[in-house]
Amino acid sequence: MKKQILLGLFLITTLIGYSQTEANHVVNFKDKIDQFYFHTFSGVPIMLTEASVAGVDGNTGKIIWEVPLKNLVLIKGLVKLEGNMEIQEVPYTSYLVVNNLVIDTKNGNIVLNPENNFKKIINYEIIPTLNSVLFACSTKDRKVMKLTLVTIKDSKQVWSKEIAVSKKNGLSALSNGTTNAAYFVGGKFIIQNLKDGNILHSEDSRPGATFLSPNKERVLMVHGKKMGLGAALGAGITMNVNKLVAHTNKIYSFDLNSGKTTWDKAIKLDEGYLESYPISDDSFFVADEKGGNLYKYASGDKIWKKNFENRRIKNVEKNTDGYMIFYSYKKLQVDSKGKKIWKKAKAANDKTMFADIDDNESFDEYTYNNGSVVATQYKLKYYVHGSKKPEWRISLDKEAKIAYDAKRKNIILLNGKKLYIINPDKNKGKDGGKKLDLKKVKEIHTIEVRGDKYYMSGVSEYAIINENGVIEKSKFYTQPGEAGRKLLNGLSIAAEIGGTALSAIGSYNAIAGGASAGSGMMGMNPPGLGGEKQFKKGASQYETGAYTQMAAKAVYNPNRFDAFKETGDYSFFFAKEGEYKVLVKVAKDTGEEKDKFIFKNNKPMYKVDDTEKKVYYVKGSDLYIFNY
């Protein structure tokens, strides 16, 4: 998705030199427009006035829907926009939550309304197999919760059901098969037929964990338990995320189709249940803080007589010699009874360099013909294949940023004021760093592949560089007044969020479901976060594909979904030129300034939609739409 949204600032209809002097469309509202934004998946411009929320068609300049809002109340945990109102999107859908109203932004249909016997939306879970969303809502009766399933494509309620509860917790640990699902909600563990809402099993339980057998016919459940103050403090001090969720030491097995219990077994693990891994169609591994054991799906019986005790297990794979156990970045071969075949663990993937990496240190690895570059939070190292020690290393400062161009296999590193383009296959290493002659290097947050060049951009500056790291063209735009400072802060946050989302993609390659995959745009992020490695492990392709399909069905303008993958050709910078305050449109390929929109003051409200080539600005109760 190549869309840049710049926050703040009023546009006026006068333009400098290049563009039309009048807006293509003017949309009039009865009340003052407080704020607006673009819905992430439907792409519909959303206007929030003093009395309503409305969707606008930017191509026709028409209000496609408007919903009056009553008794506005801020909702906990929702994303706050630049004004006073808070709203929430339901990910992978065209839904918008405002004041506990769920609105379909495609057409303005009310999906859920508090007037229909519920008080507040607690949370929700997306059900990919049914192309639906399951909402959990509180009611006026504290002992009753309402569950509602809504289809994503047509926003229809499939069913709505009230259940007796003892706690206020929302949906968690949901595991679903084709039609049935198991989850925790309201102090209960529930197995339910999601097609008709029929509850097959219900029992009291603190939120714990659930997981399915490979054939998705059996669900295994572990109850949660109350965590003592000492344990909670210990987890916080050691930053151990796994310990922040406490579980009991017993596993229960249920038939997911009928909801009936098939067996329950105690698991004698030092720290209780933490994680599980499917090993084969008939066995799974349960890991605790210090080891784990294999169990049979059918009976819950242990496969190994004695628990394997070593370190925190990351995965277990069955092979001809027994089982390969992976922990941290190393592996150990055991036989079918869990006894060690190897005396010592070896580096995972047979790469000796992992012996040089601390077990708890996160990193990214980039593989080349004769070796690998490993990026940690503190250093960038190049290991020749078979070597335990790096051939060279670069010490990184605390504000270093990194990106990866998968097409050319170039690592782009910003370290201090130096730019490195690293590629061992082309003999480009630590000695290739060049000082960037830019005013605000630390603010660079995005780099984009543009033909045989790179286009780097920050809040107020851009640079076009070649593959050798030489700047061919750049410009810094001075921002006027307080609005410039606010814009800077806002975009720094946006870049942080956007960069995190892009770090795993970070390449020229298209990946299904990726927000900007295939576009050539990469987020500049802190090194060594494990993003490249984690993304490859990632969510299952089935779920990713399902979410993408649901998002495609949800868009108001179907063509817009494909446009998300296109690379925008322009950047926009808010700047001061003489007596004018302007929005400058810059061509990424050449750096040429194509348009300049004049602003009257430092505090207008405007947004640029680079996907559909439009500029929106607000003045009072009027919305002006420019095509560019």
- Tokens 């047509």 — which residue? 154
**Strand 79-80's sheet: what is its strand order?**
79-80, 86-89, 95-98, 101-104, 110-112
Where among 269, 286, 306 does a domain terminate?
306
DSSP-derived 3-state class of residue 349: helix
Same domain, 396 and 534: yes
Where among 306, 334, 350 does a domain terminate?
306
Same domain, 132 and 214: yes
Same domain, 445 and 368: yes
Q: Name which of 289-298, 524-533, 551-560 the model is least confident about.
A: 551-560
Query: Model confidence at 186, in pLDDT bands (50, 70, 90)?
Result: very high
Q: Which residue has the higher pLDDT, 453 or 234?
A: 453
Same domain, 372 and 518: yes
Mean pLDDT of all residues in 172-181: 91
Same domain, 176 and 300: yes
Q: Name which of 107-111, 547-551, 594-598 the model is least confident about.
A: 547-551
Same domain, 292 and 384: no
Q: Name which of 137-151, 336-350, 355-369 the model is least confident about.
A: 355-369
Q: Is the pLDDT of residue 195 over 60?
A: yes
Where among 282, 306, 330 does a domain terminate?
306
Contacts 24+ apart (CB under 8 A), 557-561: 557/42, 557/43, 557/59, 557/612, 560/43, 560/611, 560/612
Question: Number of C-alpha atoms within 13 angstroms, CB side, residue 573?
Answer: 24
For residues 49 and 29, what is the distance between their CA atoms, to the nearest angstrom?
8
Closest CA to 182 of 252, 108, 271: 252
Q: Is residue 131 situated within a structural domain? A: yes
Q: Which residue has the higher pLDDT, 604 or 512?
A: 604
Mean pLDDT of all residues in 424-429: 90
CB 157 within 8 A of CB 109: no
pLDDT score for 494: 34
Q: Which residue has the higher pLDDT, 520 or 160?
A: 160
Q: Name which of 326-330, 360-364, 459-463, 483-487 the model is least confident about.
A: 483-487
Q: Is residue 8 situated within a structural domain? A: no
Closest CA to 50 of 81, 84, 25, 87: 84
Query: Model confidence at 580, in pLDDT bands (50, 70, 90)?
Result: confident
Same domain, 115 and 235: yes
pLDDT score for 359: 57
Same domain, 377 and 467: yes
Q: Is the pLDDT of residue 229 over 80?
A: no
Over the chain, what is the mean pLDDT?
A: 76
Q: Is residue 209 situated within a structural domain? A: yes
Query: Model confidence at 227, in pLDDT bands (50, 70, 90)?
Result: low
Query: Model confidence at 467, in pLDDT bands (50, 70, 90)?
Result: confident
Mean pLDDT of all residues in 26-39: 89
Q: Is residue 352 situated within a structural domain? A: no
pLDDT score for 192: 96
* Domain count across the chain: 2
Q: Name which of 55-59, 242-246, 508-512, 596-600 the model is least confident about.
A: 508-512
Mean pLDDT of all residues in 167-174: 88
For residue 132, give its domain range: 107-306
Q: Is the pLDDT of residue 25 over 50?
A: yes
Tell me the per-residue pLDDT of 284-343, one tens digit each, with 9 for 90 and over: 988 877 788 899 999 999 998 888 876 677 788 899 999 998 876 678 899 998 899 998
For residues 366 and 507, what is the distance between their CA atoms, to the nearest angstrom?
12
Residues in the chain: 628
Q: Is the pLDDT of residue 92 over 80?
A: yes
Q: Is the pLDDT of residue 575 over 50?
A: yes
Q: What is the CATH number of the domain that holds 365?
A: 2.40.128
Same domain, 249 and 380: no
In terms of C-beta density within 10 A (0-12 exposed, 13-18 middle, 19 or more buried), how is residue 592 classed?
exposed
Q: What is the CATH number of the domain that holds 226?
A: 2.40.128.630
For residues 495 and 460, what is the distance between their CA atoms, to the nearest angstrom?
13
Mean pLDDT of all residues in 411-428: 91
